[in-house]
Amino acid sequence: MTSLRDIARQLTEKHGTPAAAVAVFDAMHAMPTPGKGMSWDSDNLPDHIAERVIASAERDLARGTEPAPIQQLIEAQDGLDRADDALRKARAVRDDAIRRARRANVPVTRIIEVTGLKRSQASAIANA
């Protein structure tokens, strides 16, 4: 009998990647509870349950794909990176428009109304 923590540690050492530990916990969430009076926090899961968890985690790792939570994290981070790039580009366009507006003698108060920036921010951008 063993615990999920032990299984995760063994697979992480075997595969040399922390994705193995995540695969163990993905396998756990895909299965029903271990049995009457038992929980996943137990330090002594029955051998047949431990074998099922190991087999499921090994299958996930053999497919060469990251476990589901890692895939979601990667997708979310990619989305954030794309949003950061879009925001950076939009700010560059806005800053350029503020500079052109100031060169065209548009009052700073009008720029503030349109952009919602503070006076100091608008002035700093216009004078850059």
In this predicted structure, the answer to whether residue 1 has a pLDDT above a threshold of 60 is: no
Question: What is the chain's mean pLDDT, rounded?
Answer: 83
In this predicted structure, the answer to whether residue 90 has a pLDDT above a threshold of 60 is: yes
First to last CA, the chain: 68
In this predicted structure, the answer to whether residue 87 has a pLDDT above a threshold of 60 is: yes
For residue 101, which amino acid is it? A
Q: Which residues contact 47 (CB under 8 A, 6 or more apart)?
A: 1, 2
Cα–Cα dist 51/41, whole Å:
16
| Predicted local confidence at residue 37, as pLDDT | 63
Q: What would the pLDDT profile of 27-61 be if each residue is shown by its tens digit? A: 777 776 666 666 666 677 778 878 888 888 888 77
Highest-confidence segment of 16-25, 73-82, 91-100: 91-100
